[in-house]
Amino acid sequence: MTERVTVERVQTGLRIEKQMLKVLKALAEYHDISLGDLVEGIVLHAFEGKSAFGDESLGRIQDLKRIYGMQLGAGNAHRLREVEAGETSQQSANG
């Protein structure tokens, strides 16, 4: 087991897609860790080209995506646009 490392954490005002946040919060709750710990783990694995999740967690993620209506996938990365004032995300998706 790797020894614990002391780090300095900072508060940030990260903006993230609504359903994605719901899935991440639920996944963190399922694993009994904080949302910050979950995100740090995902990033550290990604930086090394590794998957942060095993088969069981990937199945849980699919369940949570379905429950929370998250339809985004990797192909949507860097192609999201913010909903404009007075517009719903459904209107935005329809052009």
Give how far Cα 42 sits from Cα of 30, 50, 87, 93, Å.
15, 9, 32, 28
Interatomic CA distance for residues 65 and 69, integer angstroms:
6
For 64, the enclosing helix (H) or strand (E) is helix 55-68
- Taking the mean position of all CA atoms in its chain, how far away is CA 54? 16
- pLDDT in the model for residue 16: 94
Residue 40, both tokens: 């740090």
pLDDT tens across the length of the chain (95 residues) = 789 999 999 999 999 999 999 999 999 999 999 999 999 999 999 999 999 999 999 999 999 999 999 999 999 999 999 988 877 766 555 55
Residue 52, both tokens: 């942060």
Interatomic CA distance for residues 20 and 72, integer angstroms:
8
- pLDDT in the model for residue 57: 95
Angle 88-89-91 (CA atoms, 0-180°, nearest 5)? Answer: 65
- pLDDT in the model for residue 20: 97
Where exactly are the structural domains of the chain?
A: 13-71
First to last CA, the chain: 50
